[in-house]
C-alpha cells in the first residue's frame, strides 16, 4: 500500500517535472490548456464536427512543421517554404486551369519542381557553403519574383475539382455529416512516416549532424548528403502542404505568405532547438497544433485581427524563454 502510494507519488512528480520542463511535454500541456479554454468559451468546439474542422485547418501547418523540423534539427533553416507553397499553388492553377484530365500530370510536375527547389537549397547550402539562412532567403526572393513574372503579377487559372478534394473533402463524403477530412489523414501519414524516419539510421545521423557536424563526419556519415536530404524532405512536404492549402483555400496572390515563419515558430514552440541536434518530430507537430489552436482561441475571443500578431509574438517569446530557463539548470 505504502509502496504503491510512494511510487504513484514519484510518478506524479516525474510527470509534473516533464510537463514543466519546457520540452516536448510542455507544448503538449500548452495545447491541452488552449483547447480546454476554447471549449470553456465555446462548448460546441468539443463536438466532433468542429474538431474535424480544426484538424482540417491545422493539417497544412503540421505538414510544413514536420518538413521544417528535418531541416532545423540538422542545424539549418528553410525560409523558402512559404513562397514555395505559393509558387506550387499558382503553378497548379495556371497549368491545369480547371481541366480534370491534367490533375495528375500537374501533380507530378509539382513534385519534380518541389524536389528541384529542395535539391538546389541543399546543394548550395552544403557544397557551396552558403549559410542556409541566405540560401533559402534568396530562394524565397527568386520564387516570389519568378512566379509573379510568369503570371504577370496576379495568379490566373483555376484548380481542378479533383485536385481540391484532398484539402477540402473528407470521408465519408456526405455534406453536413461528420466526416474525417482527407487532410487529417494526409497529416497523420506524414507524421507517422516522419516518426519512423527519425528512428532509422537516417534520422539518428540527421540529429547528430545538427548537434555536431564535425563529429558526425568523423564517424563516417556524409553530412552534406544528410542535410541535402533534409532540404529535399522540407520542399517535398511544402509541396504536399501546397496541395492541401490550394484545396482548402483556393488560389490567391497571397497564398503561402509568412508560412515559413509560422512553420519555424511551430517547430520552436515544440521545444526543438534552432541550431539543431535537439527535439522530436512529434513535438514539432504538437507545436503546430498549439499554434493553430491559439489562432482559433483568438477567433473565439473575437480579438481584433490586428492585435493577433502581437499576442503571437508575446507567446512565442515567453514559450522559448521558459524552455531556455529550464534547460540552463
Partner 1 sequence: MTAGTGAGTKVGTGAGSARRHHLGSTEIVYLALVGILVIAGVLVAVRGGNLFAQGNVSYMLTQTSLLGFVAVGQTLVVLCRSLDLSVGYVVALCSLIGATTMAGDPSRVWLGVVAALAVAAGVGLVNGLIISALRVNAFIATLGMGLIVKGFLDTRFKGPEGEVPLAFQTFGYTRIGPVPVSTIVMLLVAAAAFVLLTRTRAGYHMFAVGGNLDVARLSGVRTGRTLVLAHVLCSLCAGVAGLLIAARFGTGNALVYSYGLDLDSIAAVVLGGTLLFGGRGSVVGTVGGVAILAVLDTAFNVLDVNPFFKDVLRGVIIIAAVALYARRQIDPASRRVRFGTKGSAARGGDVA
CB atoms < 10 A from the CB of 39, how many? 16
Q: How far is the CB of 13 from partner 1 (least distance, A)?
A: 24
Partner residues linked to 171 by β-bridges? 180
Q: Considering the complex, what minimum distance in angstroms separates the CB of residue 131 from partner 1?
A: 4
Asked if the peptide bond before residue 230 counts as cis, ω within 30 degrees of 0, the response is no
For residue 257, give every residue at least 6 positions away whose Cβ sits within 8 Å of its Cβ, in sequence order, or none: 82, 83, 86
Distance, in Å, from the CA atom of 8 to the CA atom of 213, rounded to the nearest integer, reads 41
220 binds partner 1 (CB under 8 A): no
Beta carbon of residue 207, minimum distance to partner 1 (angstroms, whole number) = 11
Q: Give the count of residues interacting with partner 1 (CB under 8 A).
A: 56
With a CB cutoff of 8 Å and minimum separation 6, the contacts of 190 are 62, 63, 66, 237, 240
98 binds partner 1 (CB under 8 A): no
The H or E element containing residue 171 is: strand 170-171
User: Contact 132/210 with Cβ under 8 angstroms?
Assistant: no
- Which one among 94, 138, 224, 252 touches partner 1, defined by CB under 8 A? 138
For partner 1, the binding residue among 59, 62, 140, 186 (CB under 8 A) is 140
**Considering only residues 148, 202, 225, 300, which one is a binding residue for partner 1 as defined by CB under 8 A?**
148
d(CA 272, CA 71): 11
281, 102 contact by CB (below 8 A) = no
CB of 51 to partner 1, least distance (A): 28
Task: Among 128, 176, 218, 220, indicate the residue that binds partner 1 (CB under 8 A).
Answer: 128
Q: What does the CA dihedral 43, 47, 53, 55 come to, rounded to 10 degrees? A: 100
Residue 142 sits in the site that holds partner 1 (CB under 8 A): yes
Measured CA angle at 186 (ends 236, 35), to 5 deg: 115
Site pattern 242..261 for partner 1 (x: CB under 8 A): -------------------x
51 sits near partner 1 (criterion: CB under 8 A): no
Q: Of 40-48, 135-143, 234-242, 292-300, which segment contacts partner 1 by CB under 8 A?
A: 135-143
C-alpha cell at 178: 461528420
Question: Which residues inside 287-316 make contact with partner 1, applying CB under 8 A?
Answer: 304, 306-314, 316
The residue among 53 and 320 lying less far from partner 1, judged by its C-beta, is: 320
Query: Contact positions toward partner 1, by CB under 8 A?
Result: 75-77, 124, 128-131, 133-135, 137-142, 144-146, 148-149, 153, 210-214, 261, 264-265, 268, 273-278, 304, 306-314, 316-317, 320-321, 324-325, 327-328
Amino acid at each position: 500500500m505504502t509502496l504503491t502510494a510512494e511510487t504513484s507519488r514519484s510518478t506524479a512528480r516525474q510527470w509534473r517535472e516533464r510537463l514543466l520542463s519546457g520540452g516536448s511535454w510542455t507544448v503538449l500541456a500548452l495545447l491541452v490548456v488552449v483547447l480546454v479554454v476554447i471549449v470553456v468559451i465555446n462548448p460546441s468546439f468539443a463536438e466532433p464536427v468542429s474538431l474535424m474542422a480544426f484538424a482540417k485547418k491545422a493539417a497544412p501547418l503540421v505538414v510544413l512543421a514536420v518538413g521544417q523540423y528535418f531541416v532545423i534539427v540538422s542545424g539549418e533553416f528553410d525560409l523558402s517554404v512559404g513562397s514555395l507553397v505559393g509558387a506550387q499553388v499558382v503553378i497548379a492553377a495556371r497549368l491545369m486551369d480547371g481541366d480534370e484530365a491534367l490533375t495528375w500530370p500537374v501533380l507530378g510536375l509539382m513534385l519534380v519542381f518541389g524536389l528541384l527547389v529542395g535539391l538546389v537549397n541543399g546543394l548550395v547550402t552544403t557544397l557551396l557553403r552558403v549559410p542556409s539562412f541566405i540560401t533559402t532567403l534568396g530562394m524565397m526572393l527568386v520564387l516570389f519574383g519568378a512566379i509573379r513574372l510568369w503570371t504577370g503579377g496576379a495568379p490566373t487559372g483555376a484548380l481542378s475539382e479533383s485536385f481540391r478534394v484532398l484539402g477540402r473533402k473528407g470521408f465519408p463524403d456526405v455534406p453536413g455529416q461528420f466526416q474525417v477530412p482527407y487532410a487529417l489523414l494526409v497529416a497523420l501519414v506524414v507524421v507517422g512516416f516522419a516518426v519512423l524516419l527519425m528512428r532509422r539510421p537516417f534520422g539518428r545521423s540527421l540529429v547528430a549532424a545538427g548537434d555536431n557536424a564535425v563529429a558526425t563526419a568523423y564517424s563516417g556519415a556524409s553530412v552534406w548528403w544528410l542535410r541535402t536530404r533534409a532540404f529535399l524532405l522540407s520542399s517535398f512536404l511544402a509541396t504536399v502542404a501546397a496541395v492541401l492549402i490550394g484545396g482548402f483555400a483556393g488560389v490567391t496572390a497571397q497564398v503561402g505568405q509568412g508560412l515559413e515563419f509560422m512553420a519555424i515558430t511551430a517547430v520552436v514552440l515544440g521545444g526543438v532547438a534552432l541550431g539543431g541536434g535537439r527535439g522530436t518530430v512529434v513535438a514539432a507537430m504538437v507545436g503546430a497544433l498549439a499554434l493553430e489552436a491559439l489562432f482559433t482561441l483568438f477567433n473565439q475571443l473575437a480579438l481584433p485581427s490586428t492585435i493577433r500578431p502581437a499576442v503571437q509574438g508575446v507567446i512565442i517569446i515567453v514559450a522559448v524563454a521558459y524552455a531556455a530557463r529550464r534547460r540552463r539548470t
